[in-house]
Amino acid sequence: MRELRPGTVIAVIALFIAIGGTATAASGLINGSKIKPGTVTARQIKNQTITTSKLAPATVASLRGARGPVGATGPAGENGQPGTPGQPGQPGAVGATGATGATGADGVVEPYMDQVLNFNLPTEDFTIPLSIDLPPGQYLLTAKTNVVNQYASGDNMIECTIWTDEVDGVDRATSDVPYNRIFNLSAMAVADVQGLVELRCVAWNGPAQLFDTKLIAQPIQG
């Protein structure tokens, strides 16, 4: 702390007496009028008897020294140790190759077919406009034709039947066709065939004509 100037000391003592020395002044022992200016010096004041709490704030502020220079920046601290990364898992072993599956069935097999553009039907007698020789097996059999009735006296009963191996009629189509009218007939069946499939047709009442007639045998894969 810097040395107090005499004028400051006197002001401090006067302030101390004004605040805390009321009892002393009242007793007549000492008051401000009895203190001669310049008579109370630092020598008369006991060391460490006047604290900052007894001084005016401005006086306390005047006692502070100037702010010192900023200190140098300290050295940077050491970097911490990095964490240990997780270890990747090991890939599992490749499984054994599975057994080869059975060979699938063949795709669509080309059908067998016979066809005729025009065919005249006799009266009251079955005829065979179409036939196919087949390997033994199971087949989807389809027959279709267009019929023109040439019987001028009226309707004509037309009949067409799919036969297998000359012993079994597996499906039949019939219709009464008016004179000079066109009518469509179709038949279809699934059957076991040993070697032959036929289309047999007849016009019961009078002459007739078939056109665009087809017989189709589509193999069925087991």
* pLDDT tens readout for residues 123-143: 878 999 999 999 999 999 999
- Distance (Å) of CA 100 to CA 44, 133, 154: 120, 38, 67
The mean pLDDT value for 200-222 works out to: 93
pLDDT of residue 25 exceeding 50, the answer is: no
By the 8 A CB rule, do 199 and 128 touch? yes
Question: What band does 23 get if pLDDT is binned at 50, 70 and 90?
Answer: very low
E strands in the chain = 112-121, 127-133, 137-149, 156-164, 168-177, 182-193, 196-203, 208-219
- Report pLDDT digits (tens) over 141-156: 999 999 999 999 989 9
CATH 2.60.120.760 describes domain 112-219: yes
Whether this model's pTM surpasses 0.85: no
Whole-number Å distance between alpha carbons of 159 and 143? 12
> Quick one: how far is CA 105 from the chain centroid?
36
pLDDT of residue 163 exceeding 90, the answer is: yes
Sign of CA dihedral 125, 128, 134, 138: negative
The mean pLDDT value for 186-193 works out to: 96
Q: Mean pLDDT check: name the lowest of 27-41, 115-129, 194-208.
A: 27-41
Which has more pLDDT, 21 or 52?
52
pLDDT of residue 102 exceeding 70, the answer is: yes
Residue (of 218, 149, 210) closest to 188 by Cα position: 218
CATH 2.60.120.760 segments of the chain: 112-219
